[in-house]
Amino acid sequence: MTHPVPPLPEGLSENRFLGGQVTLRQPRRGYRAGMDAALLAAACDAAPGERVLEAGCGVGGALLAAAVRRPEAVFVGVERDAQALELARQNIEINGLSDRVSVRVGEVAEPFVRLGLPPFDLAMANPPFFDDPEALRAPAPEKAGAWMADDGFSTWAAFLLKAVRPGGRILVIHRADRLADLLEALAAGAGSIQIRPVHPFADAPAKRVLVRAVKTGRAPLRLLPPVVLHPRSGEDKHTAEAEAILRGAAAIDWAAP
Whether residue 149 has pLDDT greater than 50: no
Tell me which of 3 and 102 has the higher pLDDT. Answer: 102
Rounded alpha-carbon distances, angstroms, from residue 236 to 36, 86, 229: 19, 36, 11
User: Is the per-residue pLDDT at 143 higher than 50?
Assistant: no
Query: Residue 156 in contact with residue 150, Cβ under 8 Å?
Result: no
Instruction: Supply the pTM of this predicted model.
Output: 0.89
Percent of the chain with pLDDT over 90: 78
Nearest-angstrom CA–CA distance, 128 and 250: 26
Give me the torsion for CA of 151, 154, 157, 161, rounded to 10°.
-110
- Supply angle C-alpha 178, 179, 180, rounded to 5: 95
What's the rounded mean pLDDT across residues 147-160? 76
Centroid of chain to Cα 244:
18
Q: What is the pLDDT of residues 160-210, one digit of tens each?
A: 999 999 999 999 999 999 999 999 999 989 999 999 999 999 999 999 999
pLDDT tens digits for range 102-118: 999 999 999 999 999 99
What does residue 172 show for φ and ψ, rounded to 5 degrees?
-135, 140
